[in-house]
Structure 1
């Protein structure tokens, strides 16, 4: 029985999947040197376009980072998110609005007119189309801000003003294109300051929550009798959101009948295809088709118009044709039916979404980024498993390791290890693992059978 126990323990200790699937740098087609940030356990890794151009899996499963001992370090992908673009705030010209006390009580229904007086612009209230300003309009009741050039949505308005410390003043902001018809954007928003200095604690902001202006003026008003003198206005546009900047990878188009065929060296999903004619004054409606394996039928992917035109000294190029993340290995560019094709091969570039990871800089340098292995299994971890107490966006506070794209080393196809080739197809890997498992069971069964025979022989020999 001790023999059975020893054999069983030995089989349980064997992990055939880990043994066969252990990644090694030589299993991958392309290597880059990575310079990590000293004394930083967690770092970001941005995949360069040179690496994106050799990925052999659509989900970037064939990305590994090895330390100096050839050990693969933990990697977690960073989800793609739109980029937030914050526009700077700026001051805008202001004009005092002069009116009588009676007019101030009905400010929302009054029209305004900008007048030049003693070399400066003053805004006066008019009670009718041809009514002259009243001689008693000697006090400021509001301020006009010339914001006609603002086109983007607004985040907030900040005022610079003199006011009694500790006494809030309610501000109302309205907009108008013609200084006659007004729409309220913010009403009775209190501004206040504790202390006599401008940098004292308080709030001088009026939130505008994405309000969009279009050739509008702004009017800022406050209650009659308020101890308030406006000196300046600063407006902050709302932050905008933009898709991540796409990486551009050049492709080679070879003639094929009336069109061109491109053999893609990568499996990375195509976001768009940027096609420019080689010659000027060219316009060609095109059909794009693709296939995953040579010999398959072409399947339609997209249509578009490719052009390169000159007019009054400027050149106009067609925009990229969106491909919506399709993953193929061959592309065909053909002119639309009945349309002459390109005289010479066009310039073609693939537009790809960037990929980033967070990794644990475990082990000693040098670190090596290895990419390019067909059929690789993903080893990525959840982002929250690497960053303690993870909150969205925490990964962007980490330092970024530098990938040296000039250090690229391409592995000759014959140098890839036999194990990686055997595991290139998931079905082959499964067969190998099942063979090892079945072989172990047969060995264990054989040992058990031999031991049982020995035990029976011993029983018969006893008197």
Structure 2
């Protein structure tokens, strides 16, 4: 009995790697990869034809193989769009910092009162009461309501002599530990009836709840009348769209237009061809995942192709909510004149994706999709590229595949190469069944 158990476990151990191994021939669609630039990492813009050829909308069945048939490590990442920096101006509160007449460059201790949200209420001097504060040394600025990076400081003041003023800039999040942020310089120069002012100071582009300005030359700070901080928020734009080739509609008996995609995809936008001039098309768009599901309204709108002042105004696109759909239906309000007698063509778009893979082994290299039951083998991008930084993506080598034509229907299932896998499973299950029968027989004998 023990030997049977050992044999069955050994068979399972030996067969499992064979069942887990993947081969290029297991995938219905394959394309040779062309490489350019410096490796070993390469990136490829995923075309819509590849989405159409896949079995799954999330591309879990995508693989990259080398010339020896070995799968390569890869990652899928959203397509790159340039980030956008937006600047915002904030009026902030300021609080004085005094020093005693005999303290030189030292600043007296401070006692700070804050609200429960961290906003400054008051900054009090704890210097000796017999030595009243006689010199305004600087200001504490309350930036606790600003979450973004601080990039510029703008001051306005009264009093003080014309000329240059230099001060140090320190930052803190708790008003106890201060970090140097460099120095700033203001200027107010007058000659005859002309005046030159320098009121802006650049900041290092970091976050802080509080700033402390201490005047160095002169050591007497001016009276501030306005303080404005500028912050920068870096917003990553949405990935660009990748469009399909035109898809021809089928017309239902009730005059509705329908399109069948090879698989369900998160469609972000559609473009309907308006072949005739002076077209005005009110319509409603619906979608569903399969033939058994109910239609869901996606959007409605007005498309047109109209003349104005010798030019043509064209609106032939509609934004969709990005739901995963396989079938699309357009219902046209015929009061606008319709779309003509010919079935219209439609283009759909999804957010672009990029494939990044690590080159290993010898060419030729192939990209493959189209395997039912496949599980994702994608790695996180920071695992595939240790120490990854977003700006590095644009520096990777380029890869491309040559697509002869748009794939409008999924290719047939690859079943000829699966007989070996099913056979291995059958042998393993037979061994497990034999083990169960032997255990049952021994149990009956013991009773």
The structural deviation recorded for 1:435 is 6.8
CA spacing shift, 1:70–1:268, aligned 2, 3 Å: farther
Counterparts of 1:224-243 in structure 2, within 5 Å, are 242-243=237-238
Matched, 1:4 2:22: no
Q: TM-score if structure 1 supplies the norm length?
A: 0.57
| Cα-to-partner distance string for 1:184-237 (whole Å, 9 max, x where unaligned) | 9x8353xxxxxxxxxxxxxxx78999xxxxxxxxxxxxx9xxxxxxxxxxxxx9
CA spacing shift, 1:39–1:27, aligned 2, 3 Å: same
Matched-pair contact (CA < 8 Å) for 1:278–1:347: no
2:363 aligned partner: 365
The structural deviation recorded for 1:271 is 0.8
SS of the counterpart of 1:329?
Answer: strand
CA spacing shift, 1:396–1:15, aligned 2, 3 Å: farther
434-443 vs 273-282, which deviates more? 434-443
Greater strand share, structure number: 2
CA spacing shift, 1:208–1:360, aligned 2, 3 Å: closer
1:442 aligned partner: 433
Matched-pair contact (CA < 8 Å) for 1:262–1:330: yes
Residues in 1 aligned to 2:29 and 2:406: alpha-carbon distance in whole angstroms: 7
Give the alignment partner of residue 291 of structure 1, picking from 281, 288, 293: 288
2:172 aligned partner: none
SS of the counterpart of 1:350?
Answer: strand
CA spacing shift, 1:445–1:73, aligned 2, 3 Å: same
The structural deviation recorded for 1:364 is 1.2
Residues in 2 aligned to 1:422 and 1:13: alpha-carbon distance in whole angstroms: 17
SS of the counterpart of 2:325?
Answer: coil
CA spacing shift, 1:255–1:13, aligned 2, 3 Å: same
Matched, 1:248 2:218: no
Residues in 1 aligned to 2:439 and 2:427: alpha-carbon distance in whole angstroms: 18
Residues in 2 aligned to 1:410 and 1:3: alpha-carbon distance in whole angstroms: 55
SS of the counterpart of 2:291?
Answer: coil
Residues in 2 aligned to 1:412 and 1:169: alpha-carbon distance in whole angstroms: 67
Matched-pair contact (CA < 8 Å) for 2:274–2:316: no
Residues in 2 aligned to 1:338 and 1:409: alpha-carbon distance in whole angstroms: 36
Residues in 2 aligned to 1:346 and 1:410: alpha-carbon distance in whole angstroms: 16
Residues in 2 aligned to 1:451 and 1:84: alpha-carbon distance in whole angstroms: 70
1:187 aligned partner: 199
Q: Which runs of 5+ in 2 are unaligned?
A: 87-150, 154-163, 165-182, 189-196, 207-217, 219-231
Matched-pair contact (CA < 8 Å) for 1:56–1:268: no
SS of the counterpart of 1:284?
Answer: strand
The structural deviation recorded for 1:442 is 1.9
Residues in 2 aligned to 1:309 and 1:55: alpha-carbon distance in whole angstroms: 39
CA spacing shift, 1:243–1:286, aligned 2, 3 Å: same
Residues in 1 aligned to 2:429 and 2:438: alpha-carbon distance in whole angstroms: 14
The structural deviation recorded for 1:297 is 3.5
Residues in 2 aligned to 1:410 and 1:259: alpha-carbon distance in whole angstroms: 21
Q: Which runs of 5+ in 1 are unaligned?
A: 88-154, 158-162, 173-183, 190-204, 210-222, 224-236, 424-428, 457-463
The structural deviation recorded for 1:286 is 0.7
2:259 aligned partner: 262
The structural deviation recorded for 1:310 is 1.7
2:49 aligned partner: 50
Residues in 1 aligned to 2:336 and 2:309: alpha-carbon distance in whole angstroms: 27
1:70 aligned partner: 69
The structural deviation recorded for 1:84 is 2.4
408-417 vs 346-355, which deviates more? 408-417
Residues in 1 aligned to 2:66 and 2:44: alpha-carbon distance in whole angstroms: 14
Residues in 2 aligned to 1:331 and 1:281: alpha-carbon distance in whole angstroms: 25
Give the alignment partner of residue 381 of structure 1, picking from 361, 366, 379: 379
How much is the aligned-residue C-alpha RMSD, in angstroms? 4.6
328-337 vs 20-29, which deviates more? 20-29
CA spacing shift, 1:359–1:404, aligned 2, 3 Å: same
SS of the counterpart of 1:334?
Answer: strand
The structural deviation recorded for 1:415 is 7.1
Matched, 1:334 2:350: no
2:275 aligned partner: 278
The structural deviation recorded for 1:82 is 4.2
1:194 aligned partner: none
SS of the counterpart of 2:430?
Answer: helix
Residues in 2 aligned to 1:441 and 1:413: alpha-carbon distance in whole angstroms: 36
The structural deviation recorded for 1:361 is 0.9
Aligned residues: 323
